[in-house]
Amino acid sequence: MEHIRQLIRTIPDFPRPGIQFKDITPLLKVPGCVREATHAMITPFREQQITAVCGMEARGFIFGSLAAQLLNTAFIPLRKPGKLPGQVVAVAYTLEYGSTTLQMQRDALTATDKVLLIDDLIATGGTALASCELIEKLGAKVAACAFLIELSDLGGRAKLTDYAVHSVLDYPA
């Protein structure tokens, strides 16, 4: 995975001073590496009868939709407010630099669904935990959470103790 790590660049002080942003844009320009990274994210869960993959706006859409294709299952987007038609369920949560809300269409999942949550990165774990809560609001089960990048110094994994967590690349914060 070192070749994939080399395609991820760090942008200092973005989106605000002190943040070391992990930019996956160079990785996205290399299709074979995107495919390999997505495979690495889902491999531990291939035999778990996943019925849906959920990905958070925005970069979770990239890997989430690819993961759903590889697992031959549904992709469910978790969106910012006002982006989904019809009835939605929502969870509000705080970020390291603000607060926000995630929404999902009310009919997106049922109690029979077994979900793999996908995002490009886990930092403090707030978005991932809110996503799990949103999935569970519809009665679905979160089978696991998978991330391409983990900023392990920020302790996000500790917020997800009720879930299996898999990350491909670990970075200090």
**CA quadruple 173, 80, 27, 21: dihedral, nearest 10:** -30
156: helix, strand or coil: helix
Model confidence over 29-80: pLDDT tens digits?
Answer: 999 999 999 999 999 999 999 999 999 999 999 999 999 999 999 999 999 9
> Is 144 within 8 Å of 157 (Cβ atoms)?
no
The model's confidence at residue 98, banded by pLDDT at 50, 70 and 90, is: confident
Q: Which residues of 22-59 are buried (b: 16+ CB within 10 A; e: fewer)?
A: bebeebbeeeebbebbbebbbeebeeeebbbbbbbbeb
> Is 40 within 8 Å of 68 (Cβ atoms)?
no
Q: Is 35 a catalytic residue?
A: no
Tokens linked to 92: 């509000």
d(CA 105, CA 84): 7
pLDDT for position 2: 95
Question: Is residue 29 within a helix (H) or strand (E), and if so which, with residue range?
Answer: none
- Rounded alpha-carbon distances, angstroms, from residue 125 to 25, 30, 62, 77: 22, 28, 19, 18
Model confidence over 20-36: pLDDT tens digits?
Answer: 999 999 999 999 999 99
From 60-64, 91-95, 135-139, 158-162, the region with the lowest mean pLDDT: 91-95
The model's confidence at residue 97, banded by pLDDT at 50, 70 and 90, is: low
Q: Which of 36, 59, 79, 136 is catalytic?
A: 59
Q: Which of 9, 46, 96, 106 is catalytic?
A: 96
Residue 92 in this model has a pLDDT that exceeds 80: yes
Residue 96 in this model has a pLDDT that exceeds 70: no
